[in-house]
Chains A and B, each alone.
Chain A
Amino acid sequence: MFFLKFLVASLQWDFIRMIIADDTAYQIPPWNFTLSCFLPNKTDEFHWPSGAPKTSSVSDEDHQSTDTSFNLHDSHPSTESFYCCLWSEHDKNPSMCANSTERKTFVSPTAHSLAWTQRGVSWSIQCWVKMDLKILICDLESSFKNSAETLKFQAHLSYVLSEASQEDSPMVSQKGDFQVVQCNCSRSEDCECQVPMPIAKLSSTSLMYLEITNGVLFLQSPLMSVKLINIVKPDPPLRLLMEITDDGKLKISWSSPPLTPYQLQYEVKYSVKSTETRAQIAEIVLDTFLLVGNVLPGSSYTAQVRGKRLDGPGAWSDWSTPSNFTTPEVIYFPPKILTSVGSNASFYCIYKHRNTIVPSKNVFWWLNLAEKIPPSHYDVMNAHVSRVTLLNMNATKPRGKYAYDAVYCCQENECHHRYAELYVIDVNINISCETDGYLTKMTCRWPANTVASLAGSMLQLRYFRSSLYCSDFPTTHHASDPKDCHLQMDGFYECTFQPIFLLSGYTMWIHISHSLGSLESPPTCVVPDSVVKPLPPSRVNAEVMAKTGLLNVSWRKPDLPENKLQFQIRYAVNDHGELWKLHQAYGSESTSASFQVLDFCSVYIAQVRCKRLDGLGYWSNWSNPAYTVVMDIKAPTRGPEFWGIVHEDPMGKERNITLFWKPLGKNHSLCSVRRYIVKHYTESNKTWAEDTGNATKVTFPWTELAHTVTVVAVNSIGPSIVNFNLTFSWHMSTVNSVQSLSVHAVNSSCVVLSWIIEPTEYTLMYFVIEWKNLDEENGIKWIRVSSNVKKYYIRDHFIPIEKYQFSLYPVFLEGVGKPVMTNTIPREDTMKQENDPGLYVIIPIVISSSVLLLGTLLISHQRMKKLFWEDVPNPKNCSWAQGVNFHKRVDVL
């Protein structure tokens, strides 16, 4: 035993020395390779796999390098022992199986096993590294399957990891550098060796060899070398999906596994099963999808995919989880179309009906199951594919929750329930822009609800700038930038360009992104200079000019823009609900304008706005309002109308006259009254004036036979020129020209007076009607009435229960005549009837109803009385009633 161990140790040392001397270790391929061990004299009997020449001589170096179709690495036994080789059927670059004494593998000379010595032994080995490079795994599978001889064999893998690649520096490893891991041979014929590689990199290289023993035999593989990147086994691809593309192909797509350090190639195998065909196909692709044509409706597809390093050697990943996909019986491609108004769209269809594909010439197309699309719109693409083209389409009108038109592919009048969806969107989005008055900012707005029917769409304004002006035909085919826009409360998006290029052309459009595709609104080109909204004119002033009475409005133009401007002026009387009058001032240099106004004495409000004279851009906002200050324009046009009441002392000694007048209106005072002056003229040519200030009442003694008074209104310009006179004459106060006066109340607000005149020798100028409530002291009212009037309606508020005195004064040129008076109470009954016309109807109805009710009661009473006494049985005709005292029952009742 000791001898055996010593021999093994010495041979291992030889082996290590061989490694140092020779850098041609077996390059582990990313696929399966084989370790075969046999006695040298049994090479001819060894069970080589098919394709491997039995004549291969382990000692014939040249022959192996040229003739063998598989790699055969060998180790020459140092003594009579097993001879082990590594080889692979798939290796395209066969390595030498040298009969070099420096490359030795041995079997313990004391070991023997009948089966192994007779037939040799093989292990199928595959080594790979997971993508995280943490573990190198080698799987060993023995050729002695289900053989009792392998039950107890053990394997060890010795390895050393080097940072440098083999090409960079030849490996020089000492035995002490190797580490040993025990392989897990728990299963009968398989072992798994896991080599931890905590510091491994893709460029790292590992040297290793296997030691296998079943307790009797001891085998050691030739030295193996591997660059880790060459045996990395990727994870299988993820998210394998199948779908029908818009052009009617089956798209098998997947995702590459994460953390892939290099580009992968993929192998896709898929099978199709339908009533017509049954096939399985495998293809190698570089993209992460595969397009399969000639998709058949009603077919079942199953696909799997695996990946491998594209450039250089690598191991195939495991196959991905299978994915199944069954194509519908009707295939529309594209299944959905999003397009804009006015465009054309085409749908293709393959229709399988009752396990038979409908010939395309027999296909008909319907819209919304309501409208048959004319056959002139159909095209036969091939035997099974039909196409329909819809031209110059209008916008889809949403029908309830359906925002699309349903397009059906049918056979005669029989349609499959599946349909294609057509979304036609009106993308004519109006983008309007406005440049501010400082010419530094352009704000563009566009309505947000334009494509509201297309749920889930994203809108974005895109633009590009031309150096100067706009082209006649703006286009979106240009490098563009997005612009941030913000939704406003009024349902518009707003975007701001600041600073701006005043004379550059900004071409803008709305890009509509949707899962179905993207659309673009027609482009709009705007030059900021042409959409200026100026600032309103400043320093606006309004005044009504003295003497001319013209309303003059002045302003100052804004500093910018420098273009010629036009102006609009509007004005109105301030308290009259702004009934504006508008005037235009085209003069670019205009700074004021005057207007003829009717009411000089009102406060006017005036505003001004401006716009470019060439019509480009917008009107500015109206300026801040300017108000006129009321000033006297002229002297009052006339004095106030006045009336006088004569108060006579009961003793008859003294008479006073009280004059009162209504304050002069603005239309006569032009525009204010500073004071009133009463001028007196007496029969004795005495004249004086009395300043009453703003009082509208004055009393003076009437001492002479005739006394004439005039009331003059005075404003800042001067006294009124035209004034009324009134003469009080003792003589004339006895002259009566009114024969009769009658008063009739129309209602509580109107009383009509009528009178009859008798001719006199004096010149009658007018009448004055005076009325007063006799229950009030200071309730005198009066009105001047023309001399030719015979009837006059007085509008006032009359209280029906109070007494009024109406007086009619004839006023002659010579003086005030004798009045005719009448006291009256406006008739209450008449007024009430007139006030309540329904009274005529209601009273008869109430009376009639009362009579009817009374009659009904009387009749009812009689009927009840009769009813009671008829129902009481006659004791003479009824046996059971005989002897009953009915008088008593009546009493009870």
Chain B
Amino acid sequence: MLWKLLREHLQEAQRLLPLGTTGTFTWERKMHCVALCSFLWLCHHLYYTQAVPIRKVQDDTKTLTKTIITRINDISHMYSISAKQRVTGLDFIPGLHPFQSLSDMDQTLAIYQQILSNLSSRNMVQISNDLENLRDLLHLLGSLKSCPFDEADGLSSLGNLEGVMEASLYSTEVVTLTRLQKSLYGMLQQLDLIHGC
């Protein structure tokens, strides 16, 4: 299909610009050239996208997810966190819920990334970077599977939450990482189950 479209465009271009032509470059010809260039760019983009095997993207997604989980495990003060203790007042941090789609995962990770970027420490920055890569992978996976992808809203405005985080930095960090880790475990399971979008 692509080749057919490309061939048609090339034929049209040849018709409009015969070899050795010295005629003026009319508006119509310009428009056709722009269309041809756009089409070639699209072909290149599709080629590049297809050049990355979907299998590799899936593997990298899982591996990066595990990497983030391990990173959280390796943060020293995360060792002694009690699983039974609940922390209130941090409802803006997403809880564990089953992911419906790749887009859903991306939405959740966007919020975590937004929160982590406000927790200024080297560990947090690294995890935030990892989340950005992970979201990029989800997007690429979605585009390879031709999945619809909603624009990630994130938290519309941290607003008052910044005050909460400043006053309760440690709690915010612990709860964020704990919930993120659980979400990532959930993602890992879902990635194996989701064959479509």
Contacts and interface: CB of A to CB of B under 8 A. Distances in A.
B116 to A, nearest CB: 12
B48 A559 contact: no
B70 A560 contact: yes
A503 B62 CA distance: 12
Contacts of A472: 48, 51
B137 interface: yes
B129 interface: yes
Nearest to B48: A471
Given A468-B137, A562-B67, A562-B70, A503 B60 contact: yes
B60 to A, nearest CB: 6
B144 to A, nearest CB: 12
A800 interface: no
Majority secondary structure, A binding face:
loop
A153 interface: no
B120 to A, nearest CB: 12
A478 to B, nearest CB: 15
Contacts of A559: 70, 73-74
A561 B63 contact: yes
Nearest to A471: B48
Given A467-B136, A529-B60, A561 B126 contact: no
A509 B32 CA distance: 37
Nearest to A438: B74
Contacts, number: 52
Contacts of B60: 503, 529
Given A504-B133, A561-B63, A499 B140 contact: no
Interface in B123-166: 125-126, 129-130, 132-133, 136-137, 140
Nearest to B59: A563
B122 interface: yes
Interface range for A:
20 to 34
A440 B121 CA distance: 13
Interface string A456-484: 00000000000111011000000000000
A501 B48 contact: no
B181 to A, nearest CB: 14
Nearest to A503: B133
B136 to A, nearest CB: 5
A618 B86 CA distance: 43
Contacts of A395: none
Contacts of A468: 133, 136-137, 140
B70 A502 contact: no
Interface string B52-71: 10000000100110110011
A468 B135 CA distance: 10
A500 interface: yes
A562 B133 CA distance: 16
A713 interface: no
Contacts of A529: 60
Contacts of B140: 468
B64 A503 contact: yes
A501 B67 CA distance: 12
A439 interface: yes
B132 A501 contact: yes
Contact of A562 (B48, B66, B132): B66
A562 B136 CA distance: 19
Contacts of A502: 64, 67, 129-130, 133
Contacts of B66: 562
B113 to A, nearest CB: 12
28 contacts: A439-B71, A467-B133, A467-B136, A468-B136, A468-B137, A471-B48, A498-B122, A499-B125, A499-B126, A499-B129, A500-B126, A500-B129, A501-B130, A501-B132, A501-B133, A502-B64, A502-B129, A502-B133, A503-B60, A503-B133, A503-B137, A559-B70, A559-B74, A560-B67, A560-B70, A561-B67, A562-B63, A562-B67
Interface of A: 439-440, 467-469, 471-472, 498-504, 529, 559-563
Given A500-B129, A502-B64, A503-B136, 5 more contacts: A467-B133, A500-B126, A501-B129, A501-B132, A503-B137
By Cβ-Cβ distance, the 10 closest A-B pairs, closest first, are A562-B66, A499-B126, A503-B133, A468-B136, A467-B136, A562-B63, A501-B129, A499-B125, A562-B67, A440-B126
